[in-house]
Chains A and B, each alone.
Chain A
């Protein structure tokens, strides 16, 4: 009988999965979700949701979505013998339904106060019967990879292993350019790792027209002298031509776009900043155009606040790089090879990234690699020795793992970055401070780096059944709020139009489309309810 194995990458913006035939090890199909099922825009939101609504309901939401994905595979789920997952510790802990409070509260005092003892996040092979709500045969094996410390997890281990960077003799850096920018430096056989809370600006959030990569998102800005060409994602997530714009003002030279523009992604933000700085439009951390905005087409603007948010993210990543170098006793210029991973890393223009300091200036070679979490999960299905390799790597990383938040070097350098990006401190002064702090100067000349794009898109091989995107994930949940006046304020206020109200026989039923809900960070529905009858927890507890 043909048997199958399934691999899952539980990421920030959604779940990606593949099913392979065990005998041939061939990929049969790839399924991704358009969104993450848990309400919230990023992984900290998901964590917060779990804290407030309970681990149980959160696990249920996540696993039910996984079940939905399994159902969509073009195979009989009874033939699935093995499953693997990969992702950051928060997502994996939610999947397992285990303790997450140590992830929410990094401080040891609080952990002790809550009575949280050390949580076991070692590698685990269990069976589907042990994962609540999971709709697979009890005998199906479930492989869960290990985490390092609370902030670096299986996804970071996957990034390091899948890049093959450990085989290199050269000093190598790998970075995931996302909200929690995980990074690792290999030098003389030692690995130094860390993760900086860069913020979601590089994933399109906290930018006024920012969005995650989706159709309609501006992902790059190219020069067509003397104007600029916007590049935008179309319905198939290919990059196509957008309007030809002037940039300093809202003059649009050629409004024709191959796909309508809806917003800008993190990589688009990088391009905007790069082009603005190249054109001399940034002066003392302010955009120097007639209205202090950059114009991307007729209705998308990029203002000073956006520049500062993106700058802080870029600065955090560079500060992280410098901190890792400091731990290894080297300078940024000693790094020969850099890997860019994560969706942002795959689609970012490496030249622009180098100019802005997201990659060391003197780098010789840059590899842009695709989704490593899913690839790792898939490898775990076919080669169980990989689990041991991950565990060994996790142990190795613990030796030299840097907690940037507690690192003096990181804090000092990040303060310089803050001054550079938000106050307009001159670069010369930045370099003076590095000297004062006895840190190596940053080489100003840019090397002609060799850029290698190992994949053309995030997930390279889709399998014979190709890619399916599930948009209708998550459930519609009903609730009755005591005292509800059916005034509809909540339905109007919700920025994602996730709430509907129906009135049957004088009883108001509120329906929440949980996959659209922005979760704890939003809660505008609760705030707008005049007498605070609306409680989000009513849907989940």
Chain B
């Protein structure tokens, strides 16, 4: 498969929230990346509501309805509603399909009644746990594909958070093993995505559904969560930053297979993706605090096209249901961004978002548009193989962090980073050698089956 070797944006100055080089229009008529930022609300059922289809679909129907109605109440003109499948929705493909169908019908009703512009994203669960099954050949794999086929019939966008490479990643992250992380994300994750995404794109296209995108949530976000805040000591933030950069080389594969964006909200590497591909992206930051904490709450909005809350459990708050409340918040966030566009102040607004987090943490630093672009450039300039580009991304990321004195690091962080850089620099230059090395080194990792990656 040909890897992308050129940048959609010739410089980071061209990148702006609300605008993508290749806007996407859903079958419901919503334009994403066409000049304004749109909120994306992800609703989630409460534990215990997944036992049967009737209960689960009622739960999500209410949640999604609350989101749509809140838009009408406060005047938000557009919204994307996402449901990330709980296990049962994919394991029983007709469940996910039913919920998608109901949600899309509600969207059509609101459009017809109020003129509200909305779209529905169905994110299929990757139930192919690598340590349980062969990723390419199992009943669970078939269910994933079947889910896509059924949901694409009604949903506007389909996506997935794919798990390829996770078994090796989990083994290596606690061992501080950058070589293994590179192998799991760039090579294993990338190869699995190549296998999976060609099928997703074909299914989506047949149904006039948009094949949105993927995320390195399984790996890079795990690193981010383990790194935690300034009071976290589990793994260095610099390692999390490197995995983020490598994660971009993995997530890129979806677009090489024909995905069109919007990329998944939890793909914090999306600014890098957008710089390379020009597709619209969804991001989450401060308004996803309901799901998890992060250190780039504002900067991650700098080039977003959809602004998301990641996921919120359906429950009651003083201001209404959580679905309604977060819809309102996200919509006001986007109204402010869109106002800056309307008034011509978007560059200044963007600068404020960036300034808030640029030197807050290396993970935020590398996701600033200029640094994200540079990492993207390193990726496309090393398009010989998945490994080479993942490695180049990591090295460039490390170099950027070390080069800016204003980005301060603790002694441990700095020492760790230098260690990772040294290890990266001693790795083989070509992919074949690297794979040989890794196959030997990680053959005993629980659940790792090279054949499941075509190796």
On A, residues with C-beta under 8 Å from B are: 225-226, 246-249, 251, 253, 279-281, 290
Cα–Cα distance between A385 and B34 once the two chains are bound (Å) = 64
By beta carbon, the residue of chain A nearest B208 is: A225
Known: A225-B205, A226-B24, A226-B260. A249 touches B34 (CB 8 A): yes
Cα–Cα distance between A248 and B35 once the two chains are bound (Å) = 11
Summarize B's interface: helix, strand, loop or mixed.
Answer: strand
- CB neighbours of A246 from chain B (8 A): 23, 25
B23-A251 in contact (CB<8A)? yes
B34-A226 in contact (CB<8A)? no
- CB neighbours of B24 from chain A (8 A): 226
A290-B260 in contact (CB<8A)? no
B35-A226 in contact (CB<8A)? no
Q: Which of B166-219 contact A (CB under 8 A)?
A: 205, 208, 210
Summarize A's interface: helix, strand, loop or mixed.
Answer: loop
Q: A226-B210, A246-B23, A248-B31 are in contact. List 11 more A-B contacts (CB 8 A).
A: A226-B208, A226-B260, A247-B25, A248-B25, A249-B31, A249-B35, A251-B21, A251-B22, A251-B23, A279-B25, A279-B29
- CB neighbours of B260 from chain A (8 A): 226
On B, residues with C-beta under 8 Å from A are: 21-26, 29, 31, 34-35, 205, 208, 210, 260
Cα–Cα distance between A330 and B267 once the two chains are bound (Å) = 61
Q: B24 to nearest A CB, angstroms?
A: 6
Residue among B21, B23, B35 facing the most chain A CB atoms (10 A cut-off): B23
- CB neighbours of B25 from chain A (8 A): 226, 246-248, 279
- CB neighbours of B21 from chain A (8 A): 251
A249-B29 in contact (CB<8A)? no
Q: A74 to nearest B CB, angstroms?
A: 51
A253-B22 in contact (CB<8A)? yes
- Partner of A290 from the list B26, B29, B34, B210 (CB cut-off 8 Å) is B34
The 6 A-B residue pairs with the shortest CB-CB distance, nearest first, are: A280-B29, A225-B208, A226-B25, A248-B31, A226-B24, A249-B34
- CB neighbours of B210 from chain A (8 A): 226
Known: A226-B260, A280-B29. A249 touches B23 (CB 8 A): yes
By beta carbon, the residue of chain A nearest B36 is: A290
By beta carbon, the residue of chain A nearest B207 is: A225
Cα–Cα distance between A279 and B117 once the two chains are bound (Å) = 13
6 interchain pairs, CB-CB under 8 A:
A226-B208, A248-B31, A249-B31, A249-B35, A251-B22, A279-B25
By beta carbon, the residue of chain B nearest A247 is: B25
Cα–Cα distance between A248 and B23 once the two chains are bound (Å) = 10
Cα–Cα distance between A253 and B205 once the two chains are bound (Å) = 17
Cα–Cα distance between A290 and B21 once the two chains are bound (Å) = 16
Q: B346 to nearest A CB, angstroms?
A: 16
Cα–Cα distance between A226 and B23 once the two chains are bound (Å) = 9
- CB neighbours of A226 from chain B (8 A): 24-26, 208, 210, 260
- CB neighbours of A281 from chain B (8 A): 29
Q: A409 to nearest B CB, angstroms?
A: 33
- CB neighbours of B208 from chain A (8 A): 225-226
Cα–Cα distance between A246 and B34 once the two chains are bound (Å) = 10
Q: A192 to nearest B CB, angstroms?
A: 39
Known: A225-B205, A226-B260. A290 touches B23 (CB 8 A): no
- CB neighbours of B35 from chain A (8 A): 249, 290
- CB neighbours of B22 from chain A (8 A): 251, 253
Q: B400 to nearest A CB, angstroms?
A: 31
- CB neighbours of B29 from chain A (8 A): 279-281
Residue among A225, A246, A253, A290 facing the most chain B CB atoms (10 A cut-off): A225
By beta carbon, the residue of chain B nearest A281 is: B29
- CB neighbours of A290 from chain B (8 A): 34-35
By beta carbon, the residue of chain B nearest A248 is: B31
- CB neighbours of B34 from chain A (8 A): 248-249, 290
- CB neighbours of A251 from chain B (8 A): 21-23
By beta carbon, the residue of chain B nearest A283 is: B115
By beta carbon, the residue of chain A nearest B24 is: A226
Q: A427 to nearest B CB, angstroms?
A: 14
